[in-house]
A = this chain, B = another copy of it.
C-alpha cells in the first residue's frame, strides 16, 4: 500500500537511531501499560495494592533497569511534557469523573463543596503562605520572592482530584467521595483566581476593594467555566436529539460526544477559564441529558469507553511518575543538603495539615448547622477523613511541580527536589492506609 511504502522510505532516508529509539520506548511503554493492567488485576484482592501502586512500582523497576543499562544517565522512557499531560491525559480523567459521578449526592452537598472549594482553599492558602514565609526565613534556604512563596501556597492548598479518585471509592463512601472530589474540582477555579490575583493585584496594600474584586473574579470564573461546560453538554444533547431523530448512528453519536467534551475543555483553555471545572460539568450534563438521547449501544459504549480512557490515562501517569522518581538529577541535588530537604518537606507537610485542619473542621461545623437530618451531617470521623484525604498529593501534583519548578533558578530546583521526595512518601503512605479510610 502506498502509505507504508513512504514510512519505509523515510526510515531508510533518515537511518537515524533517534527515530528508531523512540519506537523502542513506545513499545516498552505500551507493553508496561499492559503489564500494569494484568498485574493490577491479579493483585486486586491484595488489600495493600491497587493499579496505581502497581504502575508506580513497575515504573520504579523500569527506571532502575534503564538507569543501570544506560550507566546512570537517564531513567526516562518518554520525555514528559506539560502538554501531554494537560491536553491529553487530564481531560479524559476529569470528564469521566463528571460523567460517572453520583449527581444526586453531588448536588445535595453542593453548598458544602463550594464552601470547602472556595473559602477553605483561601484559608489554607493564607496559612501555608504565611507559614512558609515564617519558617523559610528562619531556615535560610535562599532568597525566595514573595511571588514564589504565594505560588507554593496556591499549589499546596489545592487538592489533587486524580489522587482522590484513587483513594476514595464512590460506591463505598459516596458522601466523602463527593465532598473531597467536588472540593478538588471547585478549588481549581479558586487557584486560577489566586494566581491571577498574585500577578495583577498589589499584594502589599490589600483593602476591601481588592477583596471584593477577588470575590468578583472568582464568581465570574466559576460561573463562566461552569456555564461553558453546561452549554457544551446541552448543545451535544440538542444536536443528537434534533439532527439524528429517526436514524441513529452509534459511531457518530459517540464521536460527537467525545469531540464536544474535548472542545469544551479546549475552549476553556482558550479563554483562560478553569478547564477542569468546564469539562467536569460537561460530563455531568452529558450523562444527564445527552446520554438519554442516544441508542442503547451508544450508552454502553460511552459508559465503558470513557471509563477505559480515564483508566489508561491514570495508569499512564502513575507509570511515568514511577520512572520519574528515579531522575538522577533530583537526587543528586538533594544529596547536597539532605537535612535541609527533609526539614523543608516536613514543614510543608505540616503546614498543609494545619491549613486543611483550619478549614475542614470549622466549615464542616457550619455545614452541619444547615442540615436537619443527622444522616446528612458530616460526622467527626468523616471530617478526619476529609482532612486527611485532601492531603493526598499524587501523580498530578508531582508531575506538575516537577514541570513547574525546574524552569526557573536554583532555589526552584531545590524546591522541586523536595517536592518530589515528599510527594513520593505521601503517595506511598496514603495508599498503605487506603483501606483504613474505606472502613471508616
Is A301 an interface residue when CB atoms closer than 8 A count as contact?
Answer: yes
Quick check: B2 and A393 within 8 Å, CB to CB? yes
Decide: A3 and B90 in contact? CB cutoff 8 A: yes
* A209 interfacial contact with B, CB 8 Å: no
Determine if A4 and B41 form an interchain contact, defined as CB atoms under 8 angstroms apart. no
Complexed CA–CA distance, A304 and B10 (Å): 33
Asked if A1 and B41 sit within 8 Å, CB to CB, the answer is: no
CB-defined contacts of A85 to chain B, threshold 8 Å: 3
Given contacts A4-B188, A276-B4, A393-B2, contact A41 B244 (CB under 8 A): yes
A9 within 8 A of B: yes
CB A46 to nearest CB in B, in angstroms, measures 14
A307–B258 Cα distance when bound, in Å, is 14
Q: How far is the CA of A334 from the CA of B396 in the complex (A)?
A: 51
- The answer to whether B251 touches A30 (Cβ under 8 A) is no
CB contacts (< 8 Å) of A184 on chain B: these are 1
A interface, size bucket: 35 or more
A151 CB–B CB distance under 8 Å: yes
- Per assembly, the copies of the chain total 2
Contact mask for chain A residues 350-389; partner B; CB cutoff 8 A; 1 contact, 0 none: 0000000000000000000000000000000000000000
Residue numbers in B under 8 Å from A130 (CB-CB): none
User: Is the pair A256, B34 in contact by a Cβ cutoff of 8 Å?
Assistant: yes
Q: Does A428 contact B (CB under 8 A)?
A: no
Q: Would you give the 0/1 interface string for A261-282, flagging 1 where the beta carbon is closer than 8 Å to chain B?
A: 0110011011010111000000
Decide if B298 touches A304 in the complex (CB within 8 Å). Answer: yes
**Residue contact A38 to B256, C-beta cutoff 8 Å:** yes
Q: In the assembled complex, which residues on chain B have CB atoms less than 8 Å from the CB atom of A33?
A: 255, 259
- When chains A and B are docked, how far (Å) is the Cα of A254 from the Cα of B300? 12
Interface SS majority for chain A: helix
Is A400 a contact partner of B82 (Cβ separation < 8 A)? no
A305 within 8 A of B: yes
A84 within 8 A of B: no
State A13–B151 Cα separation when bound (angstroms).
12
**A188:B404 contact, CB within 8 angstroms:** no
Q: How far is the CA of A393 from the CA of B263 in the complex (A)?
A: 31
Give complex CA distance A9, B197 in Å: 12
Q: B30, B187, B254, B397: which contacts A305 (Cβ < 8 A)?
A: B254
Q: Which of A19-27, A72-80, A103-111, A171-179 contacts B (4 or more CB under 8 A)?
A: A19-27
Q: Which residues of B are found within 8 Å of A424, using beta-carbon distances?
A: none
Q: Which residues of B contact A255 (CB under 8 A)?
A: 33, 37, 308, 311-312
Would you give 26 A-B contacts (Cβ < 8 Å), ordered by A?
Answer: A1-B161, A1-B188, A2-B155, A2-B191, A2-B400, A2-B401, A3-B90, A3-B160, A4-B192, A4-B276, A5-B154, A5-B155, A6-B401, A6-B404, A9-B151, A12-B195, A27-B263, A30-B262, A33-B255, A41-B244, A42-B243, A255-B308, A255-B311, A300-B300, A300-B301, A305-B308
10 additional contacts (CB under 8 A) given A3-B86, A8-B192, A34-B259 = A2-B156, A2-B396, A3-B396, A4-B274, A10-B82, A10-B404, A33-B259, A252-B311, A258-B308, A298-B304
